[in-house]
Amino acid sequence: MPICMVANPKGGVGKSTLSTNIAGYFAWSGKKVALGDIDPQQSSKLWLSLRPPAAAAITSWEYDDDNPKESLGKFNHAVLDTPAGLDEKSLKKALKVVDKVIIPIQPSVFDIFATQHFINTLLEMKQSKSLDIGIVGMRVDERTISAAKLAEFLQTLPFEHIVNLRNTQYYVHLAAHGMSLFDMTPSKVAKDLEQWEVLGEWLKK
């Protein structure tokens, strides 16, 4: 059962946006998926409460920091949204239960600096060779200098750069209604779904 954690200690990088859309991707794929939220802001949990009854089902994972697997129940896919400033104790516990870690990062010097420190921490803590760690660029305009700087930084890292997601208001508008890209008419979000094909392949492997 793939259990995916979305984490980065830097606030505002798009952790909840990425977490909810990954959950939406799994649900759209016909998986029985649970979405956990250990961020005090509870953005993903709010998103779940706004989700339309007709949308593909996503269940809340009432994550127990002491017994994360037991709290998961009978789901074949799960996503865990984490807070800014995730402490090392909680990170260690989460790493014991997750199969994949996705690090969202925006093209800014502040995000790059914070992410570098987090990656060093992950490298120190990583105990299982089967743990997949990947990086997703968030709100990236490939035409900008900042995007080029981000690309340079990502080339220096030991983890896979999966894909960049473009800067679009679709994510914002859909979040307000508890929806993901995968709840939309595909033709309306075709450019975004092309990017998610790459991320989807990484999630499935």
Secondary structure of 132-193 as H, E, C letters: EEEEEEEEECCCCHHHHHHHHHHCCCCCEEEEEEECCCHHHHHHCCCCCHHHCCHHHHHHHH
Our count of domains for the chain comes to: 1
3-class state of residue 115 by DSSP:
helix
Residue 130 makes CB contacts below 8 A (sequence gap 6+) with 99
What was the pLDDT predicted at 114? 85
pLDDT for 61: 93
Q: Side chain identity at 98, as an amino acid letter?
A: V
pLDDT of residue 97: 86
40 in Cβ contact with 81 (< 8 Å): no
Strands 58-61 and 77-81: unpaired
What's the CATH code of the domain at 22? 3.40.50.300
As averages over each run of 10 residues, the pLDDT of the chain (205 residues) reads 91 96 96 94 96 95 84 85 91 89 94 88 75 94 93 92 96 97 96 97 92
Residue 36: closest CA among 10, 70, 5, 67: 5
Distance separating alpha carbons of residues 192 and 205, to the nearest angstrom: 21
Q: Residue 66 belongs to what domain range?
A: 3-204
pLDDT at residue number 129: 57
Choose among 75, 157, 80, 170: nearest CA to 123: 157
Task: Please name the residues in contact with 92: beta carbons below 8 A apart, sequence gap of 6 or more.
Answer: 125
Q: 3-class SS at 105?
A: strand
Q: Which residues have C-beta within 8 Å of that of residue 43, sequence separation ≥ 6?
A: 16, 37, 81
pLDDT at position 127 is 62
* pTM summary value: 0.94
**CA–CA separation, 178 and 23 (whole Å):** 11
